[in-house]
Chain A
């Protein structure tokens, strides 16, 4: 219990301090609302991830150390790397089982991974190093964020359409509609926000790098709405729903995005599984 509280507190505090450090002096109403919410959501995320993945693996490892003789030399590094590339990066098991399932998994997984990487770099360069919007690297980041966001949105759309068609059938055992819907809303509102940002200012060629946001902005531009005020409300909605989804991921079946790759890596160590079976003999036949 103490460890869990500590993880929650540390996670919350870390995010809070980062955001206060970056935005502290220029904090507007939006950030005042967003900062505590995302900090608590991150704390819940870390705590739930610890409880459902790290803690379980720790228990398995503890049992291993107590029961079997195993040293670091027994680790099959080659098989581990091979499993990482084939099973984690390219998800071969899914490919062999069902191509459509594989495609939507690849889109969602790589959409997510790409988005998180680009978001992290974007945050660092624009908020900490104050990279200017017209800088070529900024434009590259704009492109990457739109690309991976689009890939993610495509994967989530396929998942939702499939979930609709297989409802009530045996295929529905793969559905996690609440979590997918939540992520779909987060991603869609992210694009909507980007479009609102672009439609509120006169067009400039550099905006073309945000190709999906700009396409949506062109569609919105034909409507004569007060987009600037819509932007504020959408921003808060997006921030809150994104925070909720961050906290919800490790609490739902979506935790598989962390647990399954780890399981695939464990599976690569088949020699370790064989050790367990052979150890049964110790109890039955003596030393």
Chain B
């Protein structure tokens, strides 16, 4: 299995939210849930406060807690590329996955079913994801973890630390 993931360069991000819009448009998602969203993360107390923006979506974790939390086994991890996929027909919309996810990535759509990043399976691997393609500064990249790992080593980026092993690197 060649796990896929994302790489995010915080220094390049201009908070334009284009990635959010591209995700919604490409996948024709409802107005409500934001499958990809740029969030502000703060640290410290005034005046020693620091804030960064991160473009978050499902990180297709190696040991995905959402998969374990689903009462009806609607979530699964693809064997080929490690994407975490949801079977909409089985989903009961209980939102246990949202609570299990360290990044609140799965969200309940207006139709009562869970919706999350599926790594755009209608795009072949190697081709940029819509969120990545639209980013004007190239802050967001996708690829296999082998490729991203190599890039992270060169640019001294950090892999998000969590027991869930998220497939996500951040360059801060």
Contacts and interface: CB of A to CB of B under 8 A. Distances in A.
Interface of A: 52-53, 56-57, 59-60, 63, 67, 93-94, 96-97, 172-174, 253, 255-256, 259-260, 262-264, 266-267, 273, 276-287
Contact of A263 (B56, B93, B110): B93
A266 B108 CA distance: 13
A97 B71 contact: no
B158 interface: yes
19 contacts: A52-B71, A59-B68, A60-B65, A63-B65, A67-B102, A96-B110, A173-B89, A253-B72, A253-B90, A256-B92, A259-B92, A263-B96, A266-B96, A266-B99, A278-B42, A280-B56, A283-B160, A283-B162, A284-B170
Nearest to A286: B43
Contact of A56 (B70, B111, B112): B70
A281 B103 contact: no
A266 B68 CA distance: 17
A99 B104 CA distance: 29
Nearest to B71: A52
Interface of B: 39, 41-43, 50, 52, 54, 56, 65, 68-72, 88-90, 92-96, 98-104, 108, 110-113, 158, 160-163, 170, 172
Given A173-B88, A263-B95, A276 B104 contact: yes
Contacts of A63: 65, 100, 102, 163
Contacts of B65: 59-60, 63
A232 to B, nearest CB: 38
B109 to A, nearest CB: 9
A277 B104 contact: yes
Nearest to A251: B72
B96 A285 contact: no
Q: Which 7 pairs from chain A and chain B are nearest by CB?
A: A256-B92, A263-B94, A259-B94, A281-B41, A263-B95, A52-B71, A281-B43
B113 A173 contact: yes
Contacts of B110: 96-97
A94 B108 CA distance: 12
A194 to B, nearest CB: 32
Given A57-B96, A60-B99, A277-B39, A285 B52 contact: yes
A253 B92 contact: yes
Contact of A283 (B39, B71, B108, B161): B161
B54 A283 contact: no
